[in-house]
Chains A and B, each alone.
Chain A
Amino acid sequence: KAGVTQTPRYLIKTRGQQVTLSCSPISGHRSVSWYQQTPGQGLQFLFEYFSETQRNKGNFPGRFSGRQFSNSRSEMNVSTLELGDSALYLCASWPGGLGTSNEQFFGPGTRLTVL
C-alpha cells in the first residue's frame, strides 16, 4: 500500500506570490490534515478535511486555505506569501471515522522557502 505523497517536495517563491501544495492520502483514508513546521513555532495544526469538508481549522490567517476532492486528495493554498510562511508543510492521513484505525501517517512534506 502506497504511503502519503506530497508534491512538490521543494518550492521557492517570492513575497506576494501564491502557492498550492498537494497531498494524496493513503488509499481508503478519508481524513487529511495539514501542519506547518517551523523552528520557532514547532508543529502547528492548519486544518483537517474529511469527505471534502473542512472539519477543523487552526489559528492561521485567511491567506491559508485548502480543499479536498472526492478521491480524498487535498490541496493547500497560501496567498500573498510572507517571509514567515517559509516552513515545512506536512500533511497526514488516517481513516477518519469512529471505529476505524487510529494510526495517522505523514507524507514527506513540502519545504517552502519565501524570498
Chain B
Amino acid sequence: AQKITQTQPGMFVQEKEAVTLDCTYDTSDPSYGLFWYKQPSSGEMIFLIYQGSYDQQNATEGRYSLNFQKARKSANLVISASQLGDSAMYFCAMREGNTGGFKTIFGAGTRLFVKA
C-alpha cells in the first residue's frame, strides 16, 4: 500500500542555517511524483518542489532542494539559509496513478521552528 512517513514531528533550526526534513515513501508503482508543501498557520498549502520518479537530477527551487534517493525510497527536503518566515508545517506527498486516475497521499507533517 502507498505510504508516506515523516519521522520528525518537530524540528528546530537557527536562522540562516540549513535544515533537512526527512521523508520516506513506499510504493510498488514505478511511476510516481513526490512533492513538498509548506502550510503556515493561515492554512494554505504552498507548493515548494516536485520530483518525478524518473528524474535523474535532484529538484531545486531557490532555497529548497529535494534529496532524492530512489533505492532508499527517500525524498528529503533541504532548506538552506533558514528564515524566520520558514516556520510552518511541512508536508511530504506522493502522487501515483495513471490516466485512469491519480491520487496524492500525504505524510503526517513536520513542524519547523526557526529561531532568531
Q: Inside 8 A of A45's CB, which chain B residues have their CB? A: 103-105
CB distance A56 to B97 under 8 Å? yes
Q: Is the CB of A56 within 8 A of B102?
A: yes
**In contact, B47 and A103 (Cβ under 8 angstroms):** yes
Provide the main secondary structure of the chain A interface: strand
Check B50–A108 contact: CB distance below 8 A: no
> What's the tally of chain B residues with a CB closer than 8 Å to chain A?
27
Distance, CA A52 to CA B33, complexed state (A): 23
The winner among B91, B100, B105 for most chain A CB atoms within 10 A is B105
Return the CB mask of B83-102 against A: 1 if under 8 Å, else 0: 00000000101010111111
Give every chain A residue within 8 A of B108 (Cβ-Cβ).
Answer: 42
- Which A-chain residue is minimally distant from B47 (CB atoms)? A105
Number of interface residues of A (CB under 8 A): 26
Q: Which residue on chain B has the smallest CB distance to residue A49?
A: B101
CB-nearest residue of chain A to B55: A102
Seen from chain B, the residues whose Cβ lies within 8 Å of a Cβ on chain A are 33, 35, 37, 42-47, 50, 52, 91, 93, 95, 97-109
A–B pairs, 13, beta carbons within 8 Å: A43-B91, A45-B103, A45-B105, A48-B103, A50-B101, A55-B100, A55-B102, A58-B103, A98-B98, A102-B50, A106-B37, A109-B44, A109-B45
